[in-house]
Structure 1
Amino acid sequence: MSNWVEASVKEIVWWTDSLFSLIVNADVGPFKAGQFTKLSMMMDEKRIARAYSYVNAPSSPDLEFYLINVADGLLSQQLAKLKPGDTVMIESRASGFFTIDEIPASEQLFMLSTGTAIGPFLSILDQPDVWQQFKHITLVHGVRLNADLSYQAKIAQLQQQYPQLAYLPVVSREQAIVGLDGRITDRIADGTLFNHCNSTVSPQSTQFMICGNPQMVKDTSALLIKQGYTRNRRREPGQITVEQYW
């Protein structure tokens, strides 16, 4: 059963002409960093709802979501028109198992994301408990264009707070100003992603969280499985934990 509550729009931050963050205030239930909820609006007497991950830390009173305004997106087109003071409906109960309490402790953690799927990782990194589980964390963000690398100030603040955090942009459609060119999968396949981070990775020392579009999640998982890693399951802990982003 969905439990919809009203959320008041506090702010909309436009990063590019299609990427934006929606910040709302609402009385929602507690959630774990990495979980998602649903936003909805009524259209022609029908409720249109979509799942979005929380970007904010669970302790924050501002609820933040990172979205792409999809050209034919029924809901994103409407959300993109919201102004401060408008209301949107939010599901008060969060869902999902893309949380660090589902992941075995390890020497290092690679967070592999594409596009707006960096959102849940920012929520997780905003929590001190992630650093009790991993000594080193590398946040990898795959995007098409350098301009799509949102949240730079937030990432810089997290790196100041936690010097053990490395950040690696991977840009596929133009030369990267910082980081690597190409796709995350290509850079894992040819070894440059780990070399660039000066990381020695192995199933004994490394965990991977993968969040992105279904094809990226599938391809990246397949590559890592070929390299000797296994999917993390409750009964059989492995090294690969995934979240499909639509």
Structure 2
Amino acid sequence: MSIETLEVPVAPPANVYAVRVTAVKHYTPFLFSFSCERPGAFRFRSGEFVMIGLMNGPKPLLRAYSIASPAWGEQLEFYSIKVPDGPLTSRLQNIKVGDEILLGKKPTGTLVLDALTPGKRLFLVSTGTGIAPFASLIREPETYERYDEVIVTHTCRTTPELEYGYELIEQTKADPLVGEEAAKKLRLVTSVTRDPHPLQGRITTLIENGELFKHLDEPPLDPAHDRVMICGSAAVLQAMKELCEAHGFVEGSNSEPGSFVIERAFAG
């Protein structure tokens, strides 16, 4: 997931790595993914985000990006929007293999397994590029050690925007490390707000009216054994936070684990 803001603090060059782009894939006129080298000293927990950017004259221009690759990955993967007039993405969308980008040295975030108390069913609720941190988590072996079921929900405006998620689930179930467990425990549910689709509407609506659980053939949310991670737009984060709290869930953090978490870096 990526965010655009008008101003960002300028990180000194000593706080960033210069890394080479190793892959780029464009999904729609508004969405693309890219991979880069992983410095030997770079460590992170699956689900965290990091600052990514380009030089802007003598200074780096940086934005927060969720890491889409798992903590064990040899390269770092990211999934991004394209903002035509965005200070960074208007340029970043044109990167090619071999180009140099900047990578922050201090990953962080709350969409990590340790921010949740133990449970049985894990819901990873995403909209748009908010699926990125969950691309990391569903390829993390510990996710399947902790949960009996892992359900990814991906809501987009149009059907073509779902391609990244479909591709991700297919690759995960074929992965030599987690594929066997993912084949048994991992499910993807997609919904669309503007195109015809088996599930249409906002994810909050589909949870509240029960259509999500009818589609899954699963019982509704229960804080006794369900855990929820949420990543999307600021409006989605706020609406899902209110929904979870209304159902008796308690927000967690790195210092105080709870039954649901959101990534506050993207909360606006």
Counterpart in the other structure of 2:170 = 156
Q: What secondary structure is seen at the aligned counterpart in 1 of 2:88?
A: helix
Question: What is the aligned counterpart of 2:233 among 213, 228, 231?
Answer: 213
How far 1:233 sits from its partner (Å)?
4.6
How far 1:144 sits from its partner (Å)?
0.4
Moved over 3 A (4+): 233-238
1:136 is aligned to 2:139: no
Q: How far apart in 1 are the matches of 2:239 and 2:31? A: 24
How far 1:240 sits from its partner (Å)?
1.6
The number of residues matched between the two structures is 244
Q: How far apart in 2 are the matches of 1:69 and 1:86? A: 18
Gaps of 5+ in 1: none
Question: What is the aligned counterpart of 2:31 among 11, 15, 19?
Answer: 19
Alpha-carbon spacing, 1:64–1:233, altered in 2? closer, same or farther (3 Å) = closer
Root-mean-square deviation (CA, aligned residues, Å) is 1.7
**C-alpha contact (below 8 Å) 1:6/1:26 kept by paired residues:** no
Q: How far apart in 2 are the matches of 1:237 and 1:11? A: 36
User: Deviation per CA, 1:124-175, whole angstroms, max 9, x where unpaired?
Assistant: 1101111111101110001001100133222123245212111100100111
Alpha-carbon spacing, 1:237–1:22, altered in 2? closer, same or farther (3 Å) = closer
Counterpart in the other structure of 2:19 = 7
Question: Identity over the aligned pairs, expressed in percent?
Answer: 29
Q: How far apart in 2 are the matches of 1:157 and 1:12? A: 17
Q: What secondary structure is seen at the aligned counterpart in 2 of 1:129?
A: helix
After superposition, where does 1:1-246 map in structure 2 within 5 Å?
Answer: 3-27=15-39, 28-151=41-164, 152-159=166-173, 161=179, 162=182, 163-176=184-197, 179-200=198-219, 201-233=221-253, 237-244=257-264, 245=266
**C-alpha contact (below 8 Å) 1:8/1:85 kept by paired residues:** yes
Which structure: greater strand fraction?
Answer: 1
Report the residue type matching 1:168 in the other structure.
Answer: V
Using the size of structure 2 for normalisation, the TM-score is 0.86
Q: What secondary structure is seen at the aligned counterpart in 2 of 1:185?
A: helix
Q: How far apart in 2 are the matches of 1:237 and 1:32? A: 16
